[in-house]
Structure 1
């Protein structure tokens, strides 16, 4: 048209701009075609994964637990373990009464932290079961049971937010008096008030404003939030000084007085002595489980009992039968 004189040369540039604008969506589509194909494949994989594990049916709301814990043939192997790997826990059988304080002691690698995670439902057993008030842990509604369990992990993780939000487990309906009460029960109220912004002090995963002991005390307050019936503490004295350890003993004594089932993993004899009974765990088996004084004397003297094969424990009596599959129970 330009050569024939029917259009000016400037229209060449105008038509080029208009056509590029019109074709731009097609250019973008072609340029991102690989991402579209990858997204479609990912969606197919997600659909397959969801279909393989349908949503669980609603679980019945059981009566609030009193805190009695029973382990039956509890067995655990790491999910990614290779064939022939030694199990971490080997057929544990024991009973912890409601309101009882139990210390779990033993060398590193004995399976203490794994047992703690199994007792609170953070891990699923390879075999056997953990029962709360007679009901298998897997049959409890997680939202209901979670309110009645307080757990302090060996490595305390605090999440981005305020101290109050961490103590309240980020409950949107948290009650301020309940947050303060949990901190008081954990002997952490004065520590929190000493922070620049008190309960509103901002903390996070990489926060360096809190020491290890302070983070541990705040984690303990989080475990106490909501007046749980079961309290599991994994090495709660790791970062504590003398005053912190004394506060921990006071916390344990208060929990016992309140009828809370307290399970504490520790290497401190003073903390273990403050408990009703002590469980000596070694190599994934229970070597001794009885009154704290008896087990601590045995552990100090280096006298180990034969590894437990099948043991049921109630009250303060236990028996182990070697070479037989029978369980024997003495009433408390």
Structure 2
């Protein structure tokens, strides 16, 4: 289970689930530690008792043998026997000396751990800001992959503003940096330079737990965590009530799907459970993103594993989110979803090539287009991107 949480650390951080996941993980680990402690205690008691009895018997034999030698009732050869008995009596001390290396290694490890914890600055208590309305802006946003220092940036100095309640579709060819940008917007990644601001406040100044409640994030590869479906939808929040979990599932059009599972909302999901299909996992992940009525919803290719019914349900969810005034950012390759958004952002090689109203930037390919138009293939469809006016272009 800890591996599943570790693999999805970005999702946990983006939606403020770190403490809840740590609590759920700690609960499972605590049970295992209690059982291990009981077994270790019993083993130590029996081992110590048997060792103490053995040493007392050996010492008694040595004492009786020495007394018999002094009384002349035994030969001097008993001295050698006494030496052998003494060596057995000193066996615990020999074992302690033999284990001295492990003791020294443990002491060094403890010192290194203590030094590491001392060097790490303590978490600063951040001021609770007013709940966000959903406005997002990026200023000189740059991101470079940590495993390629000095390499070309994945995101290249982006500048844009998305108003509260606005729906924006992010399109572009594979490798354009769309998923990386989505992770930067929700705080799953930290930029090398520049900033992401929500309601004018830098993302790094927000309290993660407070902001996470107002952000819904669906990653491109959805993975559910060990626990029940209800716990996953409720973000492992111990205070999440049943009504909020069911409401989130209904908003994601996943309520009926969950009821068809063998135990409904109490169906357990293991770390290697493959009982759920990719589409089912995606719809349950969407319900998790919608839990708590977030003000910002970032969806990374939410229809990647959906069938026709799932896509219809997704379009209904997006329409309802727009009607509720939720800021919606969708990475998509489908023209129907992009056309339904207020604006479209075209990314290419980590830079914004065009950003403007969807009605101006998206249209079906036409014969005899002018040289100022660029046909961009974004997965399952080809759309014509008209060169946007200068006022709608962002970035450097």
Same fold (TM over 0.5): yes
2:392 alignment counterpart: 318
- Radius of gyration: which is bigger? 2
1:78 maps onto 2:152 in alignment: no
1:136 alignment counterpart: 202
Question: More displaced, 7-16 or 152-161?
Answer: 7-16
The 1-side partners of 2:108 and 2:165 are apart by: 53
**Is the alpha carbon distance of 1:10 and 1:293 closer, same or farther for their aligned partners in structure 2, counting shifts above 3 Å?**
farther
**Is the alpha carbon distance of 1:251 and 1:303 closer, same or farther for their aligned partners in structure 2, counting shifts above 3 Å?**
closer
Matched ranges for 1:163-178 at <5 A = 163-178=229-244
2:173 alignment counterpart: 107
State the Cα deviation string for residues 206-233 of structure 1 (Å, max 9, x = none): 1111001001111110101111111111
The 1-side partners of 2:277 and 2:138 are apart by: 36
Q: Secondary structure at the match of 2:392?
A: coil
Question: 1:157: Cα distance to partner?
Answer: 1.5
Q: Secondary structure at the match of 1:287?
A: strand
Equivalent residue for 1:244, pick from 296, 310, 314: 310
Q: Secondary structure at the match of 2:265?
A: helix
State the Cα deviation string for residues 249-275 of structure 1 (Å, max 9, x = none): 111001001111111111111111121
Do 1:280 and 1:287's aligned partners in 2 also have CA atoms closer than 8 Å?
Answer: yes
The TM-score normalised by the length of structure 1 is 0.86
Question: 1:133: Cα distance to partner?
Answer: 0.3
2:133 alignment counterpart: 66
The 2-side partners of 1:87 and 1:106 are apart by: 17
Question: 1:204: Cα distance to partner?
Answer: 2.1
1:120 maps onto 2:186 in alignment: yes
State the Cα deviation string for residues 241-294 of structure 1 (Å, max 9, x = none): 111111111110010011111111111111111211111111000111111232
Do 1:156 and 1:216's aligned partners in 2 also have CA atoms closer than 8 Å?
Answer: yes
The 2-side partners of 1:15 and 1:202 are apart by: 64
Do 1:99 and 1:260's aligned partners in 2 also have CA atoms closer than 8 Å?
Answer: yes
Q: Secondary structure at the match of 1:178?
A: helix
Question: 1:17: Cα distance to partner?
Answer: 7.1
Unaligned runs of 5+ in 1: 312-316, 323-332
1:263 maps onto 2:337 in alignment: no
The 2-side partners of 1:111 and 1:321 are apart by: 14
Question: 1:80: Cα distance to partner?
Answer: 2.0
The 2-side partners of 1:115 and 1:165 are apart by: 28
Equivalent residue for 1:217, pick from 283, 286, 294: 283
2:31 alignment counterpart: none
The 2-side partners of 1:89 and 1:183 are apart by: 34
1:54 alignment counterpart: 121
Unaligned runs of 5+ in 2: 1-65, 364-372, 377-381
Matched ranges for 1:16-31 at <5 A = 20=88, 23-24=91-92, 26-31=93-98
Question: 1:145: Cα distance to partner?
Answer: 0.5
The 2-side partners of 1:109 and 1:29 are apart by: 59
Q: Secondary structure at the match of 2:236?
A: coil
**Is the alpha carbon distance of 1:302 and 1:13 closer, same or farther for their aligned partners in structure 2, counting shifts above 3 Å?**
farther
Question: 1:78: Cα distance to partner?
Answer: 1.0
Do 1:70 and 1:131's aligned partners in 2 also have CA atoms closer than 8 Å?
Answer: yes
